[in-house]
Chains A and B, each alone.
Chain A
Amino acid sequence: MVESRVDKQADEQVDVLIIGAGASGAAAAWNLAETKMRIVCLEQGEWMNPSDYPSTTRDFEARSFGEFSISPNNRGRITDYPINDDHSPIKIANFNGVGGGTILYAGHYPRFHPSDFRVRSLDGVADDWPIDYETLAPFYDQDDQITGVSGLVGDPAYPAHPPKNSLMPPLPLGRAGETVARGFNARGWHWWPSDSAIATQPYEGRDRCINLGACLSGCAQGAKASTDITYWPAAIRAGVELRTRCRVSAVTVDDNDRATGAIYFDADGVRKHIRAEVVVLAMNGVGTPRILLNSTSQRFPNGLANSSGLVGRNLMFHPYATISGVFEEAQDGYRGPIDCLWSQEFYETRDEHNFLRGYTFEMTRGRGAVITALGGMASGRIPWGAAHHDAYRALHNRITGMVAICEDLPEAHNTVTLDPHLKDSDGVPSPRIDYTLSENSRNMLDHAVARATDVLRAAGAVDVMSESPLAVGGWHLMGTARMGTDPETSVVNEWGRSHDVKNLFIVDGSVFVTSAGVNPTRTISALALYITDSMKQRLANLFD
């Protein structure tokens, strides 16, 4: 959208405009704050009040299906935008607010592996990243300090050098962790305590985890590191201004192909323009391509920064399978964080597999009373009628298991586009998701379900249930503005700057070249720190 179409009467000028206050926007703001530039972040959501989180009320499980649902379409807050995901077997999960997706994430906090940056070289598929693990390692370390990562040093699934330190002891194994660990040991397969963004000791003003068991609907204790309580307080103290209820609709440009700022709607729906010398996009792998595609002009008729035609393409999720066992002995049930242990036995490509790349098993500990009943009745394990009670008690506190988080390979036909009909409450076009599960992913999911069943049976499960792919599992949104050195095959360069618009940067999961087989938040944060550090190193010639 060119400036001439914008009412400039209310314009204000800042040095750096960051759009989005989630994991990447928070890290970018914190890292740029020391430049003493005037930095403003616009966030469409609001600050969260931990005392409002569901775990503070008796109906906490019910509320996790409503106002704290992971689906923006179910949640339907005024701060959300609807998403047309009817054409995808995996539905979008997100949260719009200060902290973004970290408000509702589990806190699983793995790093990528060195091999994840060399997928083309090692396995002949997808592409290599233009950076490597060693480049990112110091920024992982930096993020670990701000986030406060718990875990156990020495995981044999990661190289010893550069070291991956832990700042706090791991989360408790509990009964369920012991059960699953015995299953992996019986098979002779790898497992290790998960790296987690959940504090196990008091850390930087946050208290330790007290096993509320409701991580996925916000941590009332503040033990889980969401960026509203980690990066943002420090960034604001350092001078960054964060404005909530400001929904950006488009990035503006001038006739020299420079970004000039953004159009946004405030809480009252008033349309405004803010001018900026530098624009940083941090809206996640769906939100960022949405706004780029909505930023059309004569110079950029197909959307901003899109000369490659790749904005919105190569959408990657992590296809999930969930596999749970029923045990005769009591497990942890509703108690304790979801995070516990992981296995990367099948993380890498093997000749004997009918798929390339691999996946991580992440244990999911237990289930609440309501979730147990819902799952049991939906699957027919718990009937209506007099037999209900005994059937329920055979499952209550007796379920544990894991998810498989599978590497998704980039495919150009998996897209985020603008829906021609659906709009948000400010009239901004909503994203439409078109995604198909590849044969590689299907084979990987089948393998994971079979192997997890082996583990759970070996651990003593008397019944095993699974869902594959997990329909609600579209938490991780990646690849839709990929990073690379070639402007014809990528959207941003190797340090996050748009090839087409020299003062436009992207710091969120959109820039991922491949997805790896682990949760992306730690890598998103590290990338945001790396990209903003690259900006600081180049301040004198940032736009050359």
Chain B
Amino acid sequence: MNSENIISSDAPLSAVQQRMLRRVLQAMIPPSEVHQVPGADDPTIVAAILMAGAQQLPLLTPALDALHTYIETSNDSAGQDRPAESQDLAVEWFREQHPEIAGLLMALTIQCYYRDDRVMASLDMEPRPPFPQGYEVSDGDWSLLDPVRARGPIYRPTNNS
């Protein structure tokens, strides 16, 4: 997935709503240097989420506005400049007050995050669809059937069998 290839509609979210969305996504899946993966607030992944969730945006935007209002009224408007614990409090509020929207956003995020090239590479997955190459699966050890064979029939007889 390459952000340059994603054509987004005209301003699906306002600048404030985009900031709130990234704040929630960053809290959901932050970047990891250890695993060499971006956070879910990475621009490419955000673009994919907005495209995949285009039909759900009318549900999402009021909740993002509410998050912004909450932050403003709780004097946390600096947002990203605040300590992580402070940001988490706002996102926790969002999850508690809007559980269905948080669940929807979580599902959309996961669907896009775990098909990102960088994330798949980190998981030792090839960044491609299953078809047409497919995958290898080992045949396995069929001698494991030996005790099943040794036990013999277990079917229930009827008058005819």
Contact = CB atoms under 8 A, between A and B. Distances in A.
Check if A and B associate: yes
Contact of A174 (B88, B133, B138): B138
B137 A191 contact: no
Interface string B122-161: 0101011111111111111110110111011111111111
B120 A133 contact: no
B128 A159 contact: no
A159 B147 contact: no
Contact of B114 (A121, A193, A214, A373): A373
Interface residues of A, number: 69
A61 B111 contact: yes
A191 B27 CA distance: 45
Contacts of B130: 55, 60, 212-214, 220, 334
Contacts of B1: 58
A341 to B, nearest CB: 9
A270 interface: no
B104 to A, nearest CB: 12
Contacts of B110: 370, 373-374, 377
B66 interface: no
B140 A211 contact: no
A172 B134 CA distance: 14
B137 A158 contact: no
B57 interface: no
Contact of B27 (A57, A65, A344, A385): A385
A10 to B, nearest CB: 38
Interface string B17-41: 0000000000111101011010000
A354 to B, nearest CB: 19
B152 A335 contact: no
Contacts of A347: 156
Interface in B1-56: 1, 27-30, 32, 34-35, 37, 52
Given A156-B148, A369-B114, A389-B37, A172 B140 contact: yes
Given A159-B161, A173-B141, A335 B136 contact: yes
A156 B27 CA distance: 53
A529 to B, nearest CB: 20
Best-buried of B29, B112, B127, B155 by chain A (most CB within 10 Å): B155
Contact of B135 (A173, A211, A369, A374): A211
Contact of A221 (B106, B115, B131, B137): B131
B121 interface: no
A530 to B, nearest CB: 16
A386 interface: yes
Nearest to B1: A58
Interface in A81-122: 113-115, 117-118, 121-122
Contacts of B91: 384
Contacts of A345: 154
Contact of A212 (B107, B123, B135, B160): B135
Interface string A478-512: 00000000000000000000000000000000000
A202 to B, nearest CB: 14
17 contacts: A59-B52, A114-B161, A134-B160, A156-B149, A156-B155, A157-B154, A159-B155, A172-B138, A175-B138, A210-B135, A212-B131, A220-B130, A335-B137, A370-B115, A374-B110, A385-B30, A386-B32
Given A156-B153, A185-B147, 7 more contacts: A58-B128, A118-B158, A159-B157, A173-B141, A370-B110, A370-B114, A373-B114
